[in-house]
Amino acid sequence: MRLSDALSIGDVERLAKRRLPRVVYEGIVSGVEDERGLARNEAEFHRYRLLPRAFADVTKRDQTASLFGRTFASPFGVSPTGIAGIFRRDAELMLARAASEARVPFVMSGASMVSIERLARIDPANTWFQLYAARDPKISDDFLRRARDAGFGTLVLTVDNPVPPKRERDMRNGFRLPPRLAPLDMLEALLHLPWVIDYLRRGGMPVMETWAPYAAPDAGAADVARFFRTQSPSIQTWRDLDDFRRAWPGKLVVKGIMRPSDAVRCIEHGVDGIVISNHGGKALDRAPASIEILPGIKAAVGDRLAVMLDSGVRRGSDIVVARCLGADFVFVGRATLYGVAAAGLAGASRVLAILREEIDITLGLIGCPRFDELAADFILKDSGEPTPPESALPRPIAKAV
Ligand SMILES: Cc1cc2nc3c(=O)[nH]c(=O)nc-3n(C[C@H](O)[C@H](O)[C@H](O)COP(=O)(O)O)c2cc1C
C-alpha cells in the first residue's frame, strides 16, 4: 500500500508499522499496565451513534471552528507528542508544517527533540507550547520566556503525569531514552532498513534540543534525556498553576483534566481552556475514557472556558460525536504520529486530510451542514447493557396458520 492509497487512519498506521522496527512502532501504540485504558478510549467512542436528520440542505458544509479568537479550517489540532524525533528525524517540524498548511493548531511537546527556536521558524502564531513543568522552577520560567520570545500565544500545562506511569510494554521492549534493544529485536529492526539507515546516518538518538540548554555543556543525547528524567515528571499544585497564570500573558490551557470539580477550579484560577485527556491511555490505566466524562464536565463549566478533548480519536466521526457532547475542539496524538512516521510531511498532511474529509462526509450524512450547529440531539448512546444470551430472549410468537 502507498500513502496515496491510505483511506483511513488505520491504513496510515499500517504504513507506519511497516516502516518502523517493531519496538519503535510499539512506542507509539503502547499504553500502560494492561492497556485497558488505551482500549477503553476507542471502545467508548464506538458506543455513540449519530442520528441522521432527513431533508436537510447539506449542499454546502462548513467545519471551521473558532477558538481563542482564531478561526481554524477544521475543529481539530495536533496533540503534543514528545520524542516524535525517534519515529522520524525532525518529525516535529513536519507536524508543525502540516498543521500550518491545513490551518489547524499544532501543540509542540515540552519533551520535543526539536528546539523551541527551530520550531518557531515554521508558524509560531499557529504553535502552542506544552510544558512539562520542571522540578527546578527556574527551568520552567525559562521555558516560558523562550516560548513567549518565539511568538507562541498559548501555553498548555500537562498535569496527568505527576509520577512516572508504568509503561510495561515499553519496559519489556527496552523502549526508553536511549532505546536498548534485545538482540532479537535488533535483528527484527534489520527488516526496516530505511528507518535504521536514517537513524544511524543522523547519529542515532536525537538530542532533546528543548532541554539541552539546561544539561551539562558537553552533554550528549543520552545525557540530556537522563537530565530530563531528573526534572520531569514533577508534582504541581494549584499554587503552581497560579504562578504559571501570573507568568504567562497568553492563553493558558490545562491538559489532563478528568473531574468536573477540577474543571470548575481551573476557571477560578484564570485558565482559558482545558483538554480532557488521559494521555491517550499512557498515564493511568484505570482512567475513564475522555469521551465518557465530557458531558459531565461540559455541564459543570458551560461556556466559561474552552472545553477540548483528546484520547482515542481515530475517525472524523469521533470528532463529530465529541462536538455533539460539548467539545469546542478536539486533538489527535497517535494519528498524526503514524502519518509522520510513515511518510514525513506528506504522511502527516494525509492524516489531517483524511480526518477533514471524514468530518465533511459525516456532516453531510447526518444532515448538519455546520459543525458548530452539532448538538446532543444527533446522539444515540448504546446503553452498554450486555447482549442477553439467546435463551433469555422472549420466544417468537408462533404465527397463526
Ligand atoms: C508517543 C507519544 C508521546 C506523547 N508525548 C506527550 C508529551 O510530550 N506531552 C503531552 O502532554 N502528551 C503527550 N502524549 C499524549 C498526547 O498529547 C495525547 O494526549 C494522546 O496521544 C491522545 O490520544 P490518541 O493518541 O489516542 O490521539 C504523547 C502520546 C504519545 C502516543
Q: Choose one of 9, 44, 81 to mutate for the ligand 1 pocket test, by most ligand atoms within 8 angstroms of C-beta.
A: 81
pLDDT digits (tens, 9 = 90+) for 196-206: 999 999 999 99
Amino acid letter, 118 = R
DSSP label of 332: E
pLDDT digits (tens, 9 = 90+) for 4-31: 999 999 999 999 999 999 999 999 999 9
**Separation of CA 79 and ligand 1 centre (Å):** 6
Instruction: Quote the pLDDT of residue 382.
Output: 85
Reading the block at residue 81, the C-alpha cell is 507528542
Instruction: Quote the pLDDT of residue 392.
Output: 52
| Contacts with 232 (C-beta within 8 Å, 6 or more apart), sequence order | 110, 111, 132, 133, 134, 135
Q: State the chain's mean pLDDT as an integer.
A: 95
Asked whether residue 258 carries a pLDDT value surpassing 80, the answer given is: yes
- Dist. CA 338–CA 356, nearest whole Å: 16
The band of 388, judged by pLDDT with boundaries at 50, 70 and 90, is: low
- Dist. CA 290–CA 284, nearest whole Å: 12
pLDDT digits (tens, 9 = 90+) for 55-105: 999 999 999 999 999 999 999 999 999 999 999 999 999 999 999 999 999
Count of helix runs (H) and strand runs (E) in the chain:
16, 12
Q: Which ligand 1 atom is nearest residue 275's CA? A: 19
* 212 contacts 115 by C-beta, under 8 angstroms: yes
Give, using CA atoms, the residue closest to atom 4 of ligand 1: 81
Phi, psi of 355, rounded to the nearest 5 degrees:
-65, -40
- Dist. CA 327–CA 310, nearest whole Å: 10
- Reported as type and span, the H/E element at residue 290 is helix 290-301
Instruction: Quote the pLDDT of residue 385.
Output: 59
Asked whether residue 398 carries a pLDDT value surpassing 70, the answer given is: no
pLDDT digits (tens, 9 = 90+) for 325-369: 999 999 999 999 999 999 999 999 999 999 999 999 999 999 999
Instruction: Tell me if residue 279 is catalytic.
Output: yes
* Pocket (CB within 6 angstroms of ligand 1): 28, 41, 79-82, 109, 111, 130, 158, 255, 277, 279-280, 282, 310-313, 332-335, 337
Task: Map 36-52 to HEC letters.
Answer: HHHHHHHHHHCCEEECC
